[in-house]
Amino acid sequence: MTKQVVPLDRVIIRFAGDSGDGMQLTGDRFTSETATFGNDLSTLPNFPAEIRAPAGTLAGVSSFQLHFASRDIMTPGDAPNVLVAMNPAALKANIADVPRGGSIIVNTDEFTKRALQKVGYESNPIEDGSLDSFHVHPIALTSMTVEALKEFDVSKKDAERSKNMFALGLLCWLYNRPTDGTVEFLNQKFGKKPDILAANLAAFKAGHAFGETTEDFAVSYEVKPAPMDAGTYRNITGNTALSYGLIAAGELSGLPVYLGAYPITPASDILHELSKHKQFGVVTFQAEDEIAGIGAALGASFGGALAITTTSGPGIALKSETIGLAVSMELPLVVIDIQRGGPSTGLPTKTEQSDLLQAMFGRNGEAPVPVVAPRSPVDCFDAAIEACRIATKYRTPVFLLSDGYLANGSEPWALPNVEDLPDLHVDFSTEPNHTLADGTEVFWPFKRDPETLARPWAVPGTAGLEHRLGGIEKADGSGNISYDPANHDFMVRIRQAKVDGIANDIEPLEVDDPTGDADVLVLGWGSTYGPIGAGCRRVRESGLKVAQAHFRHVNPFPANTEEVLKRYKKVLIPEMNLGQLVMLVRSKYLVDAISYNQVRGLPFKAEELAGVIEDVIKSV
Amino acid sequence: MSETSQFPSLALVPSADGPQSAKEFKSDQEVRWCPGCGDYAILAAVQGFMPELGLKRENIVWVSGIGCSSRFPYYMNTFGLHTIHGRAPAIATGLSTSRADLSVWVVTGDGDALSIGGNHLIHAMRRNVNLKILLFNNRIYGLTKGQYSPTSEQGKVTKSTPMGSLDYPFNPVSLALGAEATFVARTMDSDRQHLTSVLRAAAEHDGTALVEIYQNCPIFNDGAFDALKDGDEKEQHIIRLEHGQPITFGRERENGVIRAADGSIQVAAVAEVGLDNVLVHDAHAADPGLAFALSRLSNPDNLDQTPMGIFRSIERPTYDTLLRDQVAKSKASGKADLAALIAGNDTWTIN
Ligand SMILES: Cc1ncc(C[n+]2csc(CCOP(=O)(O)OP(=O)(O)O)c2C)c(N)n1
Ligand code: SF4
Ligand SMILES: [Mg+2]
- Encode pLDDT of A63-99 as tens digits: 999 999 999 999 999 999 999 999 999 999 999 999 9
CA distance A404 to A602: 9
| B56 in reach of chain A (CB within 8 A) | yes
Instruction: Of B225, B16, B326, give the one whose Cα is nearest residue A282.
Output: B326
Contact residues, chain A, for B100 at CB < 8 Å? none
| B221 in reach of chain A (CB within 8 A) | no
- Cis, peptide link before residue A508, omega less than 30° from 0: no
Query: Percent of chain A, pLDDT > 70?
Result: 100
- A239, A278, A334, A481: best mutation site toward chain B, by most B Cβ within 10 Å? A278
Q: How many residues comprise chain B? A: 351
End-to-end CA distance of chain B: 53
Mean pLDDT of A28-57: 91
Q: How many residues comprise chain A? A: 620
CA distance A427 to A603: 42
Contact residues, chain A, for B351 at CB < 8 Å? 230
Q: Which residue out of B143, B156, B159, B160 has the highest number of ligand 1 atoms within 8 Å of its CB and is therefore the one to mutate?
A: B143
**pLDDT of B1:** 39
Burial of B304 (0-12, 13-18, 19+ CB in 10 A): middle
Q: How many CB atoms lie within 10 A of CB B168?
A: 10
CA dihedral B257, B233, B38, B156 (to 10 degrees): 80
Check residue A225 and report its DSSP letter. Answer: P
Q: Which residues contact A570 (CB under 8 A, 6 or more apart)?
A: A519, A520, A521, A594, A616, A619, A620
| Exposure class string for A235-262: b at 16+ Cβ within 10 A, else e | bbbbbbbbbbbbbbbbbbbebbbbbbbb
**pLDDT of B2:** 46
CA of B143 to the centre of ligand 1 (A): 6
Instruction: Of A551, A550, A554, give the one whose Cα is nearest residue A502.
Output: A554
CA atoms within 13 A on the CB side of B262: 3
Rg (CA), chain B: 22
CB contact under 8 A, A283 and B327: yes
| Exposure class string for A596-618: b at 16+ Cβ within 10 A, else e | bbbbebbbbbbeebbebbbebbe
CA distance B221 to A193: 68
Sheet (strand A231-237) strand order: A410-414, A231-237, B347-350
Check residue A4 and report its DSSP letter. Answer: E
- pLDDT, chain B, mean: 96
Kindly indicate the confidence band of residue A616, based on its pLDDT and cuts at 50, 70 and 90: very high
Q: How many CB atoms lie within 10 A of CB A402?
A: 32
Q: Are A556 and A500 in contact (CB under 8 A)?
A: yes
Instruction: Of A613, A543, A468, A508, give the one whose Cα is nearest residue B58.
Output: A468
pLDDT for residue B230 is more than 90: no
Instruction: Of B70, B84, B73, B87, give the one whose Cα is nearest residue B26.
Output: B73
Strand A371-372 to A306-311 pairing: unpaired
Q: Which helix (H) or strand (E) holds B38?
A: helix B38-53
Contact residues, chain B, for A415 at CB < 8 Å? 339, 342-343, 347
Strand B183-188 to B209-214 pairing: parallel
CA of B184 to the centre of ligand 3 (A): 19
Instruction: Of A306, A309, A287, give the one whose Cα is nearest residue A459.
Output: A306
pLDDT for residue B4 is more than 60: no
Q: Are B311 and B185 in contact (CB under 8 A)?
A: yes
Which whole-number Å values give the CA distances from A432 to A205, A469, B17, in the listed order? 71, 17, 20
CA distance A607 to A538: 8
**pLDDT of A375:** 98
Q: Is there an atom of ligand 2 within 6 Å of B39 CB?
A: yes
Contacts across the A-B interface (CB distance below 8 Å): 202
DSSP codes of every residue in A13-82: EEEEEEGGG-HHHHHHHHHHHHHHHT-EEEEEEE--SSTTPPTTSGGGEEEEEEEEESS---SS-SS-SE
Kindly indicate the confidence band of residue B346, based on its pLDDT and cuts at 50, 70 and 90: confident
Min Cα–Cα distance to chain A from B80, Å = 4
Q: Are A85 and A171 in contact (CB under 8 A)?
A: no
Contact residues, chain A, for B84 at CB < 8 Å? 321-322, 325, 471
Q: What is the pTM of this model?
A: 0.95
- pLDDT, chain A, mean: 96
Give the amino acid at A126. Answer: I
Q: Using one digit for the tens of pLDDT, what is the confidence trace for B10-69? A: 889 999 999 999 999 999 999 999 999 999 999 999 999 999 999 999 999 999 999 999
Mean pLDDT of A354-361: 98
Contact residues, chain A, for B82 at CB < 8 Å? 468-472
CA distance B334 to B63: 35
| B333 in reach of chain A (CB within 8 A) | yes
Q: Which residues contact A451 (CB under 8 A, 6 or more apart)?
A: none
CA distance B349 to B351: 6
What's the sign of the alpha-carbon dihedral A518, A519, A523, A529? negative
Strand B238-241 to B306-313 pairing: parallel
In whole angstroms, what separates CA A357 from the centre of its chain? 19
CA distance A323 to B87: 13
Nearest alpha carbon, ligand 2 atom 5 = B33
- B79, B121, B319, B322: best mutation site toward chain A, by most A Cβ within 10 Å? B79
Nearest alpha carbon, ligand 2 atom 2 = B217
Residues 303-332 of B with CB under 8 A from A: 323, 326-327, 329-331
Instruction: Of A499, A507, A479, give the one whose Cα is nearest residue A363.
Output: A499
CA of B217 to the centre of ligand 1 (A): 14
pLDDT for residue A589 is more than 90: yes
CA distance A244 to A230: 22
Mean pLDDT of A338-348: 96
CA distance A357 to A369: 11
CA of A326 to the centre of ligand 2 (A): 27
Please list all protein residues whose beta carbon sits less than 5 angstroms from ligand 3, which is an ion. Answer: B 109-110, 138
Q: Using one digit for the tens of pLDDT, what is the confidence trace for B263-322? A: 999 999 999 999 999 999 999 999 999 999 999 999 999 999 999 999 999 999 999 999
CA of B138 to the centre of ligand 3 (A): 5
pLDDT for residue A1 is more than 80: no
Burial of B3 (0-12, 13-18, 19+ CB in 10 A): exposed
Q: Using one digit for the tens of pLDDT, what is the confidence trace for A272-297? A: 999 999 999 999 999 999 999 999 99
Check residue B116 and report its DSSP letter. Answer: I
Asked if this assembly's ipTM is beyond 0.95, the reply is yes
Q: Is there an atom of ligand 2 within 6 Å of B222 CB?
A: no
**pLDDT of B3:** 53
pLDDT for residue A163 is more than 90: yes
CA distance B69 to B63: 11
Burial of A38 (0-12, 13-18, 19+ CB in 10 A): buried
Nearest alpha carbon, ligand 1 atom 2 = B85
CA of B99 to the centre of ligand 1 (A): 28
Strand A10-18 to A61-69 pairing: antiparallel
Q: Which residue out of B34, B71, B147 has the highest number of ligand 2 atoms within 8 Å of its CB and is therefore the one to mutate?
A: B34
Q: Using one digit for the tens of pLDDT, what is the confidence trace for A475-530? A: 999 999 999 999 999 999 999 999 999 999 999 999 999 999 999 999 999 999 99
* Ligand 2: nearest atom to the Cα of B220: 2
Beta-bridge partner residues of B21:
none
Min Cα–Cα distance to chain B from A466, Å = 5
In whole angstroms, what separates CA A521 from the centre of its chain? 24
Q: Are A162 and A145 in contact (CB under 8 A)?
A: yes
Beta-bridge partner residues of A399:
A335, A371
Q: Is there an atom of ligand 1 within 6 Å of B68 CB?
A: yes
Instruction: Name the closest ligand to CA B82.
Output: 1
* Ligand 2: nearest atom to the Cα of B38: 8
